């Protein structure tokens, strides 16, 4: 097995998916399993499906295409607003997409008509996080325009908080969707099928009994993949964590001073480092760097070690308290969402499935 590698415990991910599908299902809420955090890595996607997830969502059309090529037939949604330039692929490979721009939806309509398909559109509403979405006061008019398009089915409304603006989901900001849906039903005499109320962070509203009646979908990635909810800075109750572990190999161990010798300029990334002189230190280098991983998202499993920093290809650890560490040893790390995302994206990191 090549190193570095990320070991993924498929049963744990299946457990998380199954737990959340059942927990939300009892309350009439479906889970869209979001696969972008693992680049739609097929064994993980299959674990989600075995756990009971029926619909999938990914932000990259390439991931969706790969899932189709692998034979996945479940409904898949593109959850990043489509680019007009990818409209043709989007209607061909995805069943639906999240949208906020009428010109994009018109492009999807054109392409869908060409191949005789109907593409589902969930209109995103910005309730304050200031990432994607139509402002609430514009929703009714935009829906009116969508309803006039052939090749498009208006499926419902969605919102996303916590990702960009770090705005927490609340009863009030989620209720905006439900109220808008009621207004749409009244004005246009249609049924709004889907109210997609948020992501992993919105699970906390269910637990507190604060999810507005009417929300019937959440799009969940992190909660299934890692059992964590970074927006609320917590573990998701009922799920397991440690679903993934990074394994790296030690390529140097030496006692060196903790304060560099010579005049300090800038590091390889243009930053001016600050050092504390802690005297001589046993330092290990592992073969992994910033090209592969967001280092800040790693935590050594052995808490006697400390990550000092990294350059593109080398990560340096203080192993003063671990006299047994030698060249060739394996050092393991727990990963957060950002570290997982970067490791799964890196072509230099081997992906290994354990059961
Ligand atoms: C990434 C993403 C999600 C999933 O978020 P998690 O926090 O991983 O559950 C849901 N919706 C949209 C639009 C996203 O971009």
Q: Is 132 in the pocket of ligand 1 (CB under 6 A)?
A: no
Angle of helix 61-69 relative to helix 42-50, nearest 10 degrees, comes to 70
Confidence band of 5 (pLDDT split at 50, 70, 90): very high
126 vs 43: CA distance, rounded Å: 34
- pLDDT digits 0-9 by tens, 130-142: 889 999 999 999 9
Would you say residue 21 has pLDDT above 90?
A: yes
Q: Which among 66, 57, 100 has a CA at the least distance from the CA of 82?
A: 100
Instruction: Report which of residues 16 and 276 the model is more confident about.
Output: 16
Percent of the chain with pLDDT over 70: 100
Q: Is the pLDDT of residue 163 over 90?
A: no
Confidence band of 43 (pLDDT split at 50, 70, 90): very high
Cα 162 to averaged position of ligand 1 atoms, centre (Å): 9
Q: Evaluate if residue 166 carries a pLDDT over 90.
A: no
- Condensed to tens digits (0 to 9), the pLDDT of residues 203-224 reads 999 999 999 999 999 999 999 9
Closest-lying ligand 1 atom to the alpha carbon of residue 220: 9
Report the pLDDT value the prediction gives residue 167, as an integer from 0 to 100.
86
Mean pLDDT of 13-28: 98
pLDDT of residue 185: 98
Question: Is 36 known to be catalytic?
Answer: yes
Judge if the beta carbon of residue 297 lies within 6 A of ligand 1: no
Write the burial class of residue 141 (CB in 10 Å: 0-12 exposed, 13-18 middle, 19+ buried): exposed
Q: Tokens at residue 35, please?
A: 């696969």
Q: Out of 81-85, 111-115, 164-168, pick the least confident.
A: 164-168
- Position 63 scores a pLDDT of 98
Indicate whether residue 199 lines ligand 1 (CB < 6 A).
yes
Please indicate whether residue 169, judged by its CB atom, sits closer than 6 Å to ligand 1. Answer: no
More confident residue, 273 or 183: 183
Mean pLDDT of 111-140: 96
348 C-beta neighbours (distance < 10 Å), count:
15
Q: What ranges make up the beta strands (E) of 119-243? A: 119-124, 152-158, 194-196, 217-220, 228-229, 234-235
Cα 130 to middle of ligand 1, angstroms: 15
Looking from the CA of residue 230, the nearest atom of ligand 1 is 7
Render pLDDT for 272-328 as a digit per residue (tens, 0 to 9): 888 888 889 999 999 999 999 999 999 999 999 999 999 999 999 999 999 999 999
User: How many Cβ atoms sit within 10 Å of the Cβ of residue 206?
Assistant: 18
pLDDT at 248: 98
State whether residue 72 is helix, strand or coil: coil
Check residue 327 and give its pLDDT. Answer: 98
| Catalytic position from the list 12, 36, 186, 278 | 36
How many CB atoms lie under 10 A from the CB of residue 119? 27
- For residue 270, what pLDDT band results from cuts at 50, 70 and 90? confident
The pLDDT of residue 276: 86
Nearest CA to ligand 1 atom 13: 79
* Average pLDDT taken over every residue of the chain: 96
Q: State the average pLDDT over residues 225-230.
A: 97
Q: Is residue 333 over pLDDT 80?
A: yes
Q: What proportion of the chain, given as a percentage, has pLDDT over 90?
A: 90
φ/ψ of residue 119, rounded to 5: -100, 130
Q: Ligand 1 centroid to 58 CA: how many Å?
A: 9
Reported confidence tier of residue 267, pLDDT bands at 50, 70, 90: confident
Structure tokens at 198: 């948020």
Residue 352's pLDDT is 98
Pocket test for ligand 1, best of 60, 158, 164, 199 (most atoms within 8 A of CB): 199
Residue 153: its pLDDT value, please? 98
If you measure from the C-alpha of residue 79 to the centroid of ligand 1, how many angstroms do you get, rounded to a whole number? 8
Looking at the CA of residue 37, tell me the nearest atom of ligand 1: 8
Pocket test for ligand 1, best of 123, 133, 219 (most atoms within 8 A of CB): 219
220 CB within 6 A, ligand 1? yes
Q: Enter the pTM of the model.
A: 0.95
Backbone angles phi, psi at 133, to 5 degrees: 130, 150
SS3 161: coil
* Atom from ligand 1 closest to the CA of residue 200: 9
Q: Residue with structure tokens 């760097």?
A: 289
pLDDT given for residue 266 in this prediction? 86
Tell which one of 163, 166, 197, 236 to mutate to probe ligand 1, the residue whose CB is within 8 A of the most ligand atoms. 163
- Is the beta carbon of 340 within 6 A of some atom in ligand 1? no
Residue ranges and CATH numbers for the domains of the chain are 10-235 (3.20.20.10), 244-354 (2.40.37.10)
Atom number, ligand 1, closest to the C-alpha of residue 158: 13
């Amino acid at each position: 097995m090549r190193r570095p590698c990320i070991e993924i415990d498929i049963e744990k991910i299946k457990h998380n998916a199954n737990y959340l599908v059942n927990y939300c299902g009892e309350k009439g809420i479906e889970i869209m399993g979001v696969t972008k955090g693992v680049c739609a890595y097929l064994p993980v996607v299959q674990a989600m499906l075995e756990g009971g997830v029926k619909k999938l969502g990914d932000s990259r059309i390439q991931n969706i295409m790969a899932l189709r090529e692998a034979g996945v037939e479940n409904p898949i949604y593109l959850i990043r607003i489509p680019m007009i330039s990818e409209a043709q692929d989007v209607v061909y490979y995805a069943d639906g997409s999240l949208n906020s721009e009428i010109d994009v939806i018109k492009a999807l309509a054109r392409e869908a008509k060409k191949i005789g398909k109907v593409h589902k559109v969930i209109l995103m509403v910005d309730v304050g996080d200031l990432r994607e979405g139509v402002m609430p006061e514009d929703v009714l008019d935009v829906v009116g325009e969508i309803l006039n398009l052939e090749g498009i089915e208006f499926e419902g409304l969605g919102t996303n908080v916590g990702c960009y603006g770090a705005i927490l989901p609340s009863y009030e900001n989620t209720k905006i969707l439900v109220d808008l849906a009621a207004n749409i039903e009244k004005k246009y005499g249609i049924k709004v099928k889907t109210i997609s109320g948020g992501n992993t962070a919105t699970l906390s509203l269910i637990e507190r009994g604060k999810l507005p009646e009417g929300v019937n979908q959440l799009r969940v990635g992190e909660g299934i993949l890692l059992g964590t909810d970074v927006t609320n800075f917590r573990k998701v109750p009922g799920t397991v964590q440690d679903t993934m572990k990074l394994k790296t190999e030690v390529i140097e161990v030496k006692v060196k001073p903790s304060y560099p010798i010579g005049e300090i300029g800038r590091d390889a990334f243009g930053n001016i480092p600050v050092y504390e002189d802690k005297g001589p230190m046993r330092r290990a280098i592992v073969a992994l760097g910033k090209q592969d991983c967001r280092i800040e998202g790693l935590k050594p499993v052995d808490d006697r070690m400390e990550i000092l920093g990294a350059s593109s290809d080398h990560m340096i650890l203080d192993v003063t308290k671990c006299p047994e560490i030698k060249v060739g040893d394996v050092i393991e790390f727990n990963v957060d969402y950002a570290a997982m995302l970067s490791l799964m994206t890196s072509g230099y990191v081997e992906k290994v499935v354990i059961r």
